[in-house]
Amino acid sequence: MAAASVTMAASGTTTDDLEDFSAYAHLSQEQLLQIAIERSLADANLTPWQNRQLQSHTQAAATKATQQLPCNPNSANPPSEMKCAKIDRNVHNHIFSNNQEKVIAWTRHNGHLRVTVETVNNLDPFLSAIWRGDAKALLDIIHLKSKNLDEPNKDGWLPLHESAYYGHFECLKILLKAKPDAINKRTNRSQTPLILAVSRKHVSCVKHLLEEGADPNLANSQWETPLYKACEKANEETVELLLRFGASPTRACVQGGTPLHEAVRNKKLDICKMLIHAGAKQWARNVYGIDALFTAAQCNAVKELNYLICKGGNVNTQAGDDASALFEASKNGHAEVVEILLSKRADVNKANKTGLLPIHVAAKNGHDSIVAMLIPRTNVVKVRRSGISPLHFAAERNRDDVLETLIEGGYDINFKLSDDWSKMYEDRRSTALYSAVANRNTEAAAMLLEAGADPNLDIFNPLLVAVRKGSMEMVSLLVKHGANVNALLPTHPTSFPAALVFCMRYKAMMKYLLDNGCDALSCFTCQYGSNPHPPIKLARNGRETMYFLNDEPSEYCVEFCEVISAPSVSSWVGPIIDTLLDYVGHVKLCSRIIEHLDSNKDWAHIKERSVLPCTLMHLCRLKIRQRMGIHRLQQISVLPLPGRLIKFLSYEPESFEDIL
């Protein structure tokens, strides 16, 4: 390719921000191909007319010189915008130089990217002249009258639309002079040449069209006026031109957005000032009930926010879902915006339709600094009425910094969710501690417990959750802070502590619970005793009902001998019974447990142990532990007792030094 000015009709490329493609003049076809893919795969931005022209000239070439690139996003140098899973349509790229044209086309085919590079010599000369900006060639064709300038293509595009889209000023002047009545003609999508030129930031073309009488208020099919598009593209010069030629600053698009919305969204203060000076209404709302000031808070447009407030903007403006500007800024973590709104006395206690306050959403999204600003201004009564504390959101989302800030701010550690909020969770949780335990967040749980969280407030005791998750660290933490080791499952009654259901195969955890007062004696209580037991009831899915949580409350009380009969546990019956016997005195095994022990000859000594008299030392230990109570057992290491006695009561083996 000759070292000449090169243009590329590709995704997101406009004549105002084209780089110098002459730098690529020395590259091979393969290298040009790679550049084109990187520029165009995201979303081709060709005019409908150009797309059809390129398609007609590349389909025939697709069988030639085809290069297949594996669609592998993990390759060493994948195209920067390439998303292989989304390539499902033809995309064409057209590269021009002053002496030849190359068309690059690619399609997805059998999991590969099929690419062709072809030189095209038979494109429509008229279109080729417009695309390249060749004013002389275009003028020659018009003089020969070989082209009907009034004939639109199937998408309603006239040559003037093409020229405005590509921004070739001289070509635009020629076409407009040849056909001045086309100046306000619309495509099938109601696009005028002016809108196309504005959308592509072709300022010189915009100015010429306006000077020649283009209507600045003709909108496209989405009701977007040229002024709206200019603000959307954040083009200050174009906005000034349009306003000077009578563009209305109040016209809204089909979604209700105004030019001022777009100017604020793009953080263009000068454009905002021009629009307000021209009569833009800052209280105009889009279909979501959002005005310009709300948009500024939403987008962290600090300068624009200050300007709108100075111009009388409502700092307590709310969207259609009742979310305030402060709520939106708190949600998005815009600390400076929050600070400004608070300084202007924005109401921190305005709730959205779900009853949430700005402090809730700030805690949920982990914006610690904003939470700290909101704490002293938020009404705790309003928080209670909401039915949920920001602590719940912080614990659920593992926002430990926020959790610490809220605790230091004096928020109620034991605040319980309202019934409506609790029902949104399958496990019917009610405390922040439960969420921390469910997330296995030991640090958060420790913060809450040390601040006074009660580990026994939830319907499902957090200790049961920790045991079921097999987290020894969390179990130990909860027990040390008074968790009920004998808690039951409210939806699935058992005659013994429910925690034992979940640690049958974890002897260390079972022993820890028993050491800390878990009721072992209840495991040997059986209503059938030495009599035959009825068959175990199975759930419809074939699993043993007593071993799994049930959503519906049950009147049937599951006994321990039924739980250890589950296939997943039955092979552990011997060690389980052997461990439990350390924590009981004289007991009588029921027929089902005996049946299990008889099934394995290695367990014969366990059965024999259950019928032999207990030693006096063992009975004394049990009696002392019973008199101490669960609370003291859980604090036994700090009791003023001799070390040997503490080890004895804790079932720890004595060392040689202890005996001496």
Q: What's the rounded Cα separation, in Å, for the pair 166 and 46?
A: 10
Which pLDDT does position 34 carry in this prediction?
58
491 plus 595 within the same structural domain: yes
Which pLDDT does position 190 carry in this prediction?
96
Q: Is the pLDDT of residue 116 over 80?
A: no
Strand partners of residue 66: 116
From 41-50, 237-246, 269-278, 514-523, the region with the lowest mean pLDDT: 41-50
**Domain assignment present for 453:** yes
Which pLDDT does position 470 carry in this prediction?
93
Q: 107 falls in which pLDDT band (50, 70, 90)?
A: very low
Contact 502, 651 (CB under 8 A): no
Q: What's the rounded Cα separation, in Å, for the pair 34 and 11?
A: 14
User: Looking at the 3D structure of the chain, how many domains does it have?
Assistant: 3
Alpha helices, H only, 200-324: 203-211, 226-232, 236-244, 259-265, 269-277, 292-299, 302-310
Q: 27 falls in which pLDDT band (50, 70, 90)?
A: low
Q: 């008299």: which residue's tokens? A: 613
Q: What is the pLDDT of residues 159-180, one digit of tens each?
A: 999 999 999 999 999 999 999 9
Instruction: Find the farthest-apart pair of alpha carbons in the chain and give their distance in angstroms, rounded.
Output: 122
Burial tier of 338 (Cβ tally within 10 Å: 0-12, 13-18, 19+): buried
Q: What's the rounded Cα separation, in Å, for the pair 391 and 380?
A: 12
Q: 């915008």: which residue's tokens? A: 81
* Domain finish residue from 448, 483, 518: 483
Give residue 24's domain range. 7-119
533 plus 602 within the same structural domain: yes
Q: Is the pLDDT of residue 192 over 60?
A: yes
432 plus 518 within the same structural domain: no
Q: Is the pLDDT of residue 644 over 80?
A: yes
Alpha carbon distance, N-terminus to C-terminus of the chain? 96
Alpha helices, H only, 91-168: 125-132, 135-143, 159-166
Q: What's the rounded Cα separation, in Å, for the pair 1 and 98?
A: 9
| Cβ neighbours of residue 278 closer than 8 Å, sequence gap 6 or more | 243, 249
**Domain assignment present for 16:** yes
Which pLDDT does position 188 carry in this prediction?
94
Which pLDDT does position 264 carry in this prediction?
98
Q: Is the pLDDT of residue 555 over 70?
A: no
**Top-confidence residue, 268 or 641:** 268
> pTM score, two decimals?
0.77
- 578-603 average pLDDT score: 92
47 plus 115 within the same structural domain: yes
Which pLDDT does position 30 carry in this prediction?
57
439 plus 499 within the same structural domain: no
- 541-549 average pLDDT score: 41
**Domain assignment present for 184:** no
**Domain assignment present for 190:** no
503 plus 602 within the same structural domain: yes
Which pLDDT does position 491 carry in this prediction?
81
**Top-confidence residue, 422 or 91:** 422
Q: Which DSSP string do the residues of 331-368 spell out, in sequence order?
A: HHT-HHHHHHHHHTT--TT---TTS--HHHHHHHTT-H
Percent of the chain with pLDDT over 90: 58
* Domain finish residue from 103, 119, 135: 119
Q: What's the rounded Cα separation, in Å, for the pair 481 and 394?
A: 21
517 plus 530 within the same structural domain: yes
440 plus 519 within the same structural domain: no
Q: Is the pLDDT of residue 94 over 90?
A: no
502 plus 610 within the same structural domain: yes
- 422-450 average pLDDT score: 96
Q: What's the rounded Cα separation, in Å, for the pair 96 and 117?
A: 13
Show the beta-strand stretches assigned E in 378-497.
Answer: none
**Domain assignment present for 84:** yes
Q: What is the pLDDT of residues 325-368, one digit of tens each?
A: 999 999 999 999 999 999 999 999 999 999 999 999 999 999 99
**Domain assignment present for 458:** yes
* Domain finish residue from 614, 631, 653: 614
Q: Is the pLDDT of residue 71 over 50?
A: no
- 370-383 average pLDDT score: 97
57 plus 93 within the same structural domain: yes
